[in-house]
Amino acid sequence: MPAFSLRFLPIWKRNFLVWKKLAVASVLGNIADPLITLVAFGYGLGSLLQTVDGIPYIHFLASGSICMSVMMAASFEALYSAFSRMHVQKTWDALLNAPIALDDVILAEMLWAATKSLFSGVAILLVIFMLGIGLHPQVLLVPPLLFLVGMTFASLGLIINALAKGYDFFTYYFTLALTPMVFLSGVYYPTTQLPDWLLGFANVLPLGAAVRLTRPLLLGEWPLNPMLDVAILVAYCVAGFYLATVFTRRRLLK
């Protein structure tokens, strides 16, 4: 089992200090795509499709887009950035020459990816507020929920990072896993439109759980099955992090 200590904190801080030098460009880069999607689909398609399940379409889309953004931001950091530090820049090798365990390095990478994705999620949340969406007391629960979502997808991304031979390997993960998940998780349309045989699979996807938790909160309501959806996210996070630790140990400590 993974063993941790507080020595992960300096690694997290190191990643934060590096990111801070390009913080504005980083946040803008992470929120550009979901904002373009929100404006294009929210106002373009929204002019034709006024409501979905009685909800204005731009409100429906905004609550899904913020989850998608957090997923993508955490995944990019856990894949491209972590792989650069592990394989290209040899930052992990340098860290392991200090009295720091590999498990602490992996934990720091996971928490940093979740933190960076939270920055992007909060930035989009502020834009959503400017559009008059999500101005409810329930929205106070959204940031900690987004951090959990970031941890989940960071853990899953670190599995792929441990198995990848190069940057091109990540294309398969984005194309075959993350992109289909976006279309099966209720970001753009209700999952009730899916056929029954596919709906059962979609209901256990981590992004679907994130959307089902976040959307009601942004609409001033409460999720229908919050404990089940939180359990889905936690299960993916814990299992993903455990596998990421095992595979990374095999790669670097063999």
pLDDT reading at 3 higher than 90: no
Alpha-carbon distance 132 to 145, whole Å? Answer: 21
pLDDT in the model for residue 232: 97
pLDDT in the model for residue 131: 79
**Is the pTM higher than 0.85?**
yes
pLDDT reading at 247 higher than 70: yes
pLDDT in the model for residue 143: 95
| Residue ranges of domains in the chain | 8-252
pLDDT in the model for residue 231: 97
Q: For residue 111, what pLDDT band results from cuts at 50, 70 and 90?
A: very high
pLDDT in the model for residue 46: 61
pLDDT reading at 142 higher than 90: yes
**Weakest-pLDDT range from 126-130, 160-164, 232-236:** 126-130
pLDDT reading at 128 higher than 80: yes
Q: What is the pLDDT of residues 14-54, one digit of tens each?
A: 999 998 888 777 777 767 777 777 777 766 766 667 777 77
Q: What is the pLDDT of residues 148-207, one digit of tens each?
A: 999 999 999 999 999 998 898 999 999 999 999 999 999 988 888 888 889 989 999 999
Average pLDDT over residues 65-92: 92
- Regarding predicted confidence, which is higher, 138 or 43? 138
Q: For residue 254, what pLDDT band results from cuts at 50, 70 and 90?
A: low
If you average pLDDT over every residue of the chain, what do you get? 89
Q: For residue 210, what pLDDT band results from cuts at 50, 70 and 90?
A: very high
